[in-house]
Chain A
Amino acid sequence: MSVSSTVSGAAAPELRIVGFLCNWCSYGGADTAGVGRFIQPTDLRIIRLPCSGRTNPLFIAKALLQGADGVLVSGCHPRDCHYAEGNFYARRRLEVFKQLLPVLGVDPRRFEYTWVSASEGQRWQMVVSKFTEQIHSLGPARRLPGAPELEWLRESAG
């Protein structure tokens, strides 16, 4: 299993965090952070979506129930959506989704959504660091038997 150096410097076993990022702002923001060589934890796996409005809560549910320890969604700031209003719809959907988690017995802190613009490399670094720390403080998520992805995860984690 690989080891991630969190910003605090403590070495901990890497956890599985999935990030759904919009193509226009947050993916650019993550790129800006990378180009700026800002130090970031490496637990996050990024999936690029055309817009935060494309984030079907099913994506997050599937990730959380079938192998991820945390999920982060990030899009353009409200009023800055490339498609004008995708993130407005996303905000309602994601907030409602977050409120379902405790009923399922999943700690709602395993899921966050936020806004990062393409120029905000530093904000991206802060968000990803804080979220990774949050997930590390919660530890690995409980698994349900029969999640097919787990086999695959175990193999790929070596």
Chain B
Amino acid sequence: MAVQEELKKIILGLLPQVDCVIGWGPGPDLLCASPYFMRRPEEVDNFLAGPMATQNTALYLPEYKGKKVALVVKGCDSRSVAQLLAEKLIAREEVRIIGFPCAGVADMGKIAARLAPHGEPGEAEKAVYGEKELRITMAGRELVLPLAEIKADKCLRCAHPNAVFSDHFAGEKAAGNDDEFKDLAALETMSLEDRFSFWEKEMSRCVRCYACRNACPLCVCRDHCVASSRDPHWLTQADGVSDKLLFQVTHALHLAGRCTGCGECQRACPAGIPVLLLKRALSRAVEGLFGHSAGLDPETRPPLLTFQVEERTIKEKAW
């Protein structure tokens, strides 16, 4: 892949100026990459970019505060960086951003579903991501999966496949799609009663592992999370749907006006719970009320950290 080689050149050029370059490298199996921290030139050989590079590299930035790092970013990752900058959680002079045109990442759940008749994803003997398809060899036979069919949902509606800002860019800019919040519209075809039942059922599978929180690049409280605080004790240790849902609602509320829709929370969930929907509901609300989409501009103040004396878009209840 030409862009991958171009990216490697940029990374090699930046290595002497930074403590580390964060990108993607070989993962747990042939289908999926892992976050990859490059410090030495020979490590750059294993760098990967493409549909398998699902993880959001911005996740690690707050931990690197005070050090200089370069980051390879997909469009969604760049929005997380922009949002972290807008909230002054990281310093601009400490990060170098390397962008490239993202053609979308693979959804491991969709791949697993397609492979199911033949075996588990981990059993793939060979996997090659092409321009348009993924070729997998499994149990001696080759399976061809069109990329369009295994792309993550967030990529199908992604408006910003190129980094929204960058210091270096490899390749030609790609065209984006429109996000019409069709996923929310689908949920909203249900009655209120059914939506409540939907969440009750979905959240009953939650094991409170907090992978959703830990994968979120904007959940920066880390060891001070309200979910683990005993004083005040907002969430009990009881194993009920009620606390599980309250935790999700809290995550969503803490991300209101900040969530860039990178989808990492949902991707990380081992129970396959559509937790991104709640955050999308708040993003849609903030967009509608304040015309603001998170992570597009490192300079704009998040809409919930400011106000207008006259709010023209807020219709208060007339009693």
Contact = CB atoms under 8 A, between A and B. Distances in A.
Contacts, number: 127
Contacts of A146: 238-243
Interface in A93-149: 93, 95-97, 99-100, 102-107, 112-114, 123, 126-127, 130, 142, 144-148
Contact of B289 (A85, A95, A148): A95
Given A62-B246, A99-B282, A99-B285, A145 B253 contact: no
Interface in A64-114: 65-66, 78-79, 85, 88-89, 91-93, 95-97, 99-100, 102-107, 112-114
Nearest to A144: B242
Interface residues of B, number: 51
Nearest to A129: B319
B233 to A, nearest CB: 10
Contacts of A91: 307, 311, 314, 316
Interface string A36-73: 00000000000000000000011001100110000000
Contacts of A65: 242, 245-246, 249
Contacts of A99: 281-282, 284-285, 288-289
A103 B184 contact: yes
Given A142-B196, A144-B200, A127 B319 contact: yes
A96 B240 contact: no
B291 to A, nearest CB: 13
B84 interface: no
Contacts of A104: 195-196, 199, 245, 249, 278
B240 A105 contact: no
Contacts of A97: 253, 256
A105 to B, nearest CB: 3
Nearest to B240: A146
Interface of B: 184, 187-188, 190, 192-200, 226, 234, 236, 238-243, 245-246, 249-250, 252-253, 256-257, 277-278, 281-282, 284-286, 288-290, 303-305, 307-309, 311, 314, 316-317, 319
27 contacts: A58-B226, A58-B250, A61-B246, A61-B250, A65-B242, A79-B309, A85-B307, A89-B307, A91-B316, A92-B311, A95-B285, A99-B285, A100-B252, A100-B281, A103-B188, A103-B277, A104-B196, A104-B245, A113-B316, A114-B316, A127-B319, A130-B319, A144-B241, A145-B242, A146-B241, A146-B242, A146-B243
